[in-house]
Amino acid sequence: MTNTQSGLLALVASCTIWGLSPLYYKLLVHVPPMEILAHRTVWSLVFFLILLGAQRRIGALPAALSTGRAVGITLICALMISTNWALFIWSVQVGRTTEASLGYYIFPLVAVLMGVVVFRERLSRLQWASVALAAVAVLVLTVGLGAAPWISLVLAVTFGTYGLIKKGTATGPVVSVAGEVALLTPVALLFLLWWTAQGWGHHGDPATLGLLMVSGVLTGGPLVLFSYGARRVRMATTGLVQYLNPTLQFLCAVLIFGEPFGPVHMVAFALIWIALALYSGVSLVQDRARRKIAIAASGELAD
């Protein structure tokens, strides 16, 4: 298997795990979302410490948090991703996985818009059309359902902000996420201690506790696979494979959980899918153009 093939397989595996994660959280529907989030934080840190220890990179964690600025940036990232995790868990438990999947469909377009606002990036007409179609989809849901799809919007914005901040950091994904959960673990442990003292914890149920411990692997495992794959395939390929995640979430919601999917949802999702097709098409063309320029430049250097 070539590097590209193994990278693609790792990407597909990571996005499949993320996409099917609603099935896992449905098994924990009897556990409050904040308790799940606290366990996910603690067990994720355990997973990353074991992984970094096995790689003999445990020293990279304190190094990544060695300055006040680094701690501040990491803390903001931690708050963004924890908000995202908590809302996603809650949406699955209350039967709104469809809306959550829409948020992860919208996210790439929100990220593009953030790039325009923050980094003054320029968009082509087709890319602007993609953003406009996403805005129309949100408007359709707002008017058709009588309320804004706030779950979708908050998930897209928090994840977009998280990615925006991470773009300016040089720390690798494994170490950076380990730093985020390390900062939040003391809070998570205090919450679990208080929660248990109130008699509301699920530590006495071995099956539930076992499932909660799995959350660490479920968080760290796909991230490691995604990091491995993203380094071995083109950015355009990585972007396209990521749509597997919300697609599987959507299928879980509609086909397995039986969540409502009426005409308003159909119109909104159709608009989003068209927007993503336009956006992905432009990304592929731009990626090919960059590769041709790089090949031409390398040929000139060789001459």
- Residue matched to tokens 């129309």: 136
Alpha-carbon distance of 87 to 102, in angstroms, equals: 13
For the chain, the residue count is: 303
Asked whether residue 1 carries a pLDDT value surpassing 70, the answer given is no
How confident is residue 228, by pLDDT bands cut at 50, 70 and 90? confident
Report how far Cα 39 is from the mean position of its chain's Cα atoms.
18
CA dist., res. 38 & res. 199, Å (int): 16
What mean pLDDT, rounded, does the chain reach?
Answer: 89
Under the banding of pLDDT at 50, 70 and 90, the label for residue 41 is: very high
Give the mean pLDDT of 73-94: 95
Q: For residues 57-64, give the mean pLDDT.
A: 92
The pLDDT tens digits of the residues spanning 238-256 come to: 878 889 999 999 999 999 9
Q: pLDDT tens digits, residue range 99-141? A: 999 999 998 888 888 888 888 888 888 888 988 999 999 999 9
Cα gap 48→97, rounded to integer Å? 28
CA nearest neighbour of 101 among 264, 243, 266, 227 = 243
More confident residue, 179 or 237: 179
CA angle 116, 122, 128 (to 5 degrees): 80
User: Is a pLDDT exceeding 70 seen at residue 302?
Assistant: no
Measured between alpha carbons, how far is 17 from 290 in angstroms, rounded to an integer?
31
Residue 120's pLDDT is what? 85
Enumerate the domain spans of the chain: 3-302
Interval 194-222: pLDDT, tens: 998 888 877 668 899 999 999 999 999 99
134-149 per-position pLDDT tens digit: 999 999 999 998 888 9
Q: Are 102 and 152 in contact (CB under 8 A)?
A: yes
Structure tokens at 45: 């840190």
pLDDT of residue 299: 63
- Residue 233 structure tokens: 């395939």
